[in-house]
């Protein structure tokens, strides 16, 4: 195991050059991380699952199979933080938070030391893709000097991508997911993933507002897809990189969807490109209504749909809307 001294005081060399990609899973974060990995000195860490360990969901996903009103999605800490015996109790926050910081630094430090040594990188910039972003507020409290990229994508396309992942032979089934076989199972997953996107988006929004404006940037997936070079250049400022536009364009071209081997991309693969709005073709009107019941107000707030469209879709009247809506 590499010694932490290989990085010469990892507390300084990692914590002060740490950048998080927050948002939702299935939002293009893998693509963004691949592009950022093309920058000099960047060491990527792809999905350490900190959010899944620190932010255990409550209730369990089975609750979304109920035909009644969908429950409010929360995490275990919301219920237990006032209990002294809970490991992450608020009463003992001053004891566990610094220790958690040291653990994360030591773990990341070992990996970064390996990569920096292999690639001969001096003063590495550490970019961590953490789509389990429902603990973004905790992580930024632990690392207030870190940078953050808020990658936002229309929640309906995120849910659609998860539907694709929960089918026979997909990438997700090899990681513990199971294929959906009934209408009830599909609707339960749609309601569950809609609630997950909503919770993560709200947490990251709050964390973004509270973070130092000089250390944050928001990128919409739709803009990244339409203008990748311009959006990547905007992100470069946050990670303290200053490449020429020619290098940005080279990175965009070399990390494009088309550059991924055919057998590793497309439907059922972790790298899946879909046109924004593909959910209209892949979900029934009933499924769309269930999704919009949960996502509608937030989609309106974020500018992804109008109040009128949100109301119509939540009531299952999508057929009455203009086809281009």
Q: Do 139 and 211 touch, CB atoms closer than 8 A?
A: no
Those residues whose C-beta lies under 8 Å from the C-beta of residue 317, and which sit 6 or more positions away, are none
Express each pLDDT in 288-307 by its tens digit.
999 999 999 999 999 999 88
Mean pLDDT for the chain overall: 87
Cis peptide preceding 42, ω within 30 of 0: no
Long-range contacts of 208-211, Cβ-Cβ distance < 8 Å, separation of 24 or more: 208/22, 208/148, 208/150, 210/137, 210/140, 211/140, 211/144, 211/148
Strands (E), the chain: 18-23, 42-46, 57-58, 74-75, 125-129, 147-152, 216-220
Predicted pLDDT at 301: 97
- Phi, psi (deg, nearest 5) at residue 134: -75, 0
Confidence band for 16, pLDDT divided at 50, 70 and 90:
confident
Express each pLDDT in 151-199 by its tens digit.
999 999 999 988 887 777 676 677 776 777 788 888 999 999 999 999 9
pTM summary value = 0.87
pLDDT at 272 over 90: no
pLDDT at 254 over 90: no
Q: Averaged over 229-250, what is the pLDDT? A: 92
> Tokens 């769309």 correspond to what residue?
288
Q: Averaged over 259-273, what is the pLDDT? A: 57
Q: Do 163 and 186 touch, CB atoms closer than 8 A?
A: yes
DSSP 184-230: HHHHHHHHHHHHHHHHHHHHHHHHHHHS-GGGEEEEEHHHHHHSHHH
Name which of 271, 274, 277 is nearest 33 in CA terms.
Answer: 271
CA dist., res. 36 & res. 42, Å (int) = 7
Q: How many CB atoms lie within 10 A of CB 303?
A: 9
The pairing of strands 147-152 and 18-23 is parallel
Q: Quote the CATH superfamily of domain 4-317.
A: P-loop containing nucleotide triphosphate hydrolases (3.40.50.300)
Domain ranges of the chain: 4-317
User: Which element (helix H / strand E) includes 79?
Assistant: helix 76-80
Predicted pLDDT at 259: 60
Q: What is the share, in percent, of the chain residues with pLDDT greater than 70?
A: 85
Confidence band for 262, pLDDT divided at 50, 70 and 90:
low
Predicted pLDDT at 14: 87
- Which residues does residue 21 pair with via DSSP β-bridges, in sequence order? 129, 149
Predicted pLDDT at 273: 61
Q: What is the share, in percent, of the chain residues with pLDDT greater than 90?
A: 64
């Amino acid at each position: 195991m590499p010694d932490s001294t290989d990085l010469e005081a990892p507390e300084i060399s990692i914590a002060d050059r740490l950048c998080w990609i927050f948002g939702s899973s299935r939002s293009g974060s893998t693509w963004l991380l691949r592009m950022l990995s093309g920058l000099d000195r960047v060491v990527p860490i792809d999905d350490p699952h900190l959010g899944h360990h620190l932010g255990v969901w409550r209730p369990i996903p089975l609750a979304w199979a109920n035909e009644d009103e969908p429950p409010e999605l929360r995490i275990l800490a919301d219920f237990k933080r006032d209990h002294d015996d809970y490991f992450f109790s608020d009463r003992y926050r001053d004891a566990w938070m610094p220790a958690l910081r040291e653990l994360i630094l030591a773990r990341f430090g070992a990996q970064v030391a390996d990569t920096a040594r292999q690639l001969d990188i001096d003063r590495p910039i550490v970019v961590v893709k953490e789509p389990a972003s429902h603990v973004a507020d905790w992580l930024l409290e632990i690392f207030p000097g870190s940078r953050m990229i808020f990658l936002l994508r229309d929640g309906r396309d995120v849910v659609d991508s998860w539907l694709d992942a929960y089918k026979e032979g997909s990438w997700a089934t090899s990681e513990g997911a199971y294929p959906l076989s009934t209408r009830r199972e599909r609707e339960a997953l749609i309601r569950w993933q809609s609630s997950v996107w909503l919770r993560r988006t709200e947490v990251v929004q709050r964390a973004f507002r509270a973070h130092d404006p000089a250390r944050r940037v928001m990128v919409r997936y739709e803009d990244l897809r339409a203008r990748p070079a311009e959006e990547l250049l905007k992100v470069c400022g946050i990670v303290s990189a200053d490449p020429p536009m020619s290098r940005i364009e080279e990175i965009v071209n070399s990390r494009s969807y088309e550059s991924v081997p055919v057998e590793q991309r497309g439907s059922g693969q972790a790298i899946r490109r879909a046109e924004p709005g593909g959910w209209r073709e892949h979900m029934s009107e009933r499924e769309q209504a269930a999704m919009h019941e949960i996502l509608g107000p937030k989609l309106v707030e974020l500018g992804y749909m109008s109040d009128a469209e949100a109301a119509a879709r939540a009531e299952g009247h999508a057929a009455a809307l203009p086809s281009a809506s």
